[in-house]
Structure formats: structure tokens, C-alpha cells
């Protein structure tokens, strides 16, 4: 049961990494310091005050940078692999006494997969906002993402099963949107190809 709860917490925090990379490690660090979260022995350093300070500074910089026009798009390019890596590490750090092969497989699939999917959706939302508002709506998207990361991180620790259910809904919605966008892109390409033949 403890392992299952650890996986649920890890998935919730990993998905939150898809919104903001450094918010979940910051929340994990605080929760560990105050005794609300047990980390794997190899990741005990995340529950120290120096790590807390580093995560806090990185979080402030990341959140602030997303409010700078066009920098937010550059961050999305870098944030995708970082979110996958952070999601993987976050999930792995919560699986104590696990076989390393199992630990990292679960971490990569569940943690990295959920973080990468959410990050892809965030990038799509920002791109759509830029196209529709010329970038003026990106601040609102950034605020929603930051808030989503904070709320999801808190829920993952306080009510992990609910957080996983919420993540499942987000993932289904995100994957359906990605599928719809790919279908529309294919239709446009086919229409352009047929019109060029005519």
C-alpha cells in the first residue's frame, strides 16, 4: 500500500512538473523537511535546507521568466526535456526500498510520461495564445500554469489518490487535444496537396 501511495504521489508531482519544473521539487523539499513526506535514501538531499533554498530560487526565476514575452516560448523548448527528467527523478525519489530496475522504469514511464504530456499541452496552449492574442494572453496562461503546478503539487502530497485521478483526466484531455491537432494538420496537408494537383 505504501508503494502504491508513493507512486500516486510521484505521478501527481511529476504531472505538476509539466506545468513548472521546479515547483514540485520545492514542495517536496518543504514536505520532507516538515516530516510529511519520506524520500528514498538516495534522494534524502532533496529534504535539506540548502536544497530548499536552491529550489526556491529556481522556482522564482522560472515563474518570473514565463512572464517575459518570447522568452516563454524559448523556455517551453528547454522545459520539455527538463520536465520529463524532473518528473522521472521526482517519482524515483519517492520509491524507497524498490528494485532499481523497477524504480527507474516506473519513474520514467509514469513520472516522465505524465510530465512530458502535460508540458506538451502547456506549450500548445501558449502557442495558441500567441497566435490568437499576439502574446498578450500568455501572461494569463503562465499564471494558470504556475497555479496549476502549485495546487497539483499540494494535492499530490495531501490527497494522492485524488491527484492521480485529476492527472488521469488531464492526460486524457491533453492526448485527445494532441490527436485532434494532428488530425487537423493532416487534413490541411491533404487539402493543400489536392488543391495543388488541381
* 25-36: pLDDT as tens digits: 999 999 999 999
DSSP 63-109: HHHTTSTTHHHHHHHHHHHHHHHHHHHHHHTT-TT--HHHHHHHIII
Q: What is the pTM of this model?
A: 0.85
C-alpha torsion 172→177→183→187, nearest 10: 160
**pLDDT at 1 > cutoff 70:** no
Mean pLDDT of all residues in 10-27: 94
Helix (H, G, I), strand (E, B) or coil at 158: helix
| Number of domain units in the chain | 1
Read off the pLDDT band of 58 (50, 70, 90). Answer: very high
Percent with pLDDT over 90 in the chain:
51
Q: pLDDT tens for residues 141-167?
A: 899 999 999 999 999 999 999 999 999
C-alpha to C-alpha distance for 192 and 56, rounded to whole angstroms: 49
> pLDDT band for position 69 (50/70/90)?
confident
pLDDT tens digits for 111-137? 999 999 888 888 888 888 888 887 778
pLDDT at 198 over 80: no
Q: At what angle do helices 138-158 and 2-17 cross, to 10 degrees?
A: 170
Instruction: Report the alpha-carbon distance of residue 54 to residue 39 in Å, rounded.
Output: 18
The answer to whether the beta carbons of residues 14 and 111 sit under 8 Å apart is: yes
Supply the pLDDT for residue 188.
84
Task: Give the model's pLDDT for residue 133.
Answer: 82
Domain residues for the domain of 175 are 2-197
Amino acid at each position: 500500500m505504501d508503494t502504491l501511495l508513493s507512486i500516486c504521489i510521484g505521478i501527481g508531482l511529476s504531472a505538476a512538473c509539466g506545468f513548472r519544473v521546479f515547483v514540485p521539487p520545492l514542495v517536496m523539499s518543504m514536505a520532507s523537511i516538515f516530516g510529511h513526506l519520506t524520500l528514498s535514501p538516495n534522494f534524502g538531499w532533496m529534504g535539506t535546507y540548502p536544497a530548499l533554498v536552491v529550489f526556491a530560487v529556481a522556482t522564482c526565476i522560472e515563474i518570473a521568466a514565463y512572464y517575459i514575452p518570447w522568452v516563454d516560448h524559448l523556455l517551453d523548448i528547454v522545459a520539455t526535456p527538463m520536465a520529463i527528467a524532473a518528473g522521472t527523478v521526482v517519482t524515483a525519489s519517492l520509491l524507497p526500498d524498490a528494485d532499481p530496475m523497477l524504480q527507474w522504469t516506473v519513474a520514467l514511464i509514469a513520472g516522465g510520461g505524465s510530465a512530458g504530456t502535460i508540458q506538451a499541452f502547456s506549450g500548445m496552449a501558449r502557442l495558441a495564445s500567441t497566435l490568437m492574442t499576439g502574446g498578450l494572453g500568455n501572461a494569463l496562461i503562465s499564471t494558470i500554469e504556475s497555479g496549476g503546478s502549485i495546487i497539483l503539487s499540494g494535492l499530490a502530497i495531501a490527497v494522492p489518490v485524488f491527484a492521480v485521478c485529476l492527472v488521469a483526466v488531464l492526460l486524457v484531455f491533453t492526448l485527445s487535444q494532441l490527436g485532434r491537432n494532428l488530425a487537423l494538420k493532416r487534413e490541411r496537408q491533404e487539402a493543400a496537396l489536392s488543391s495543388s494537383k488541381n
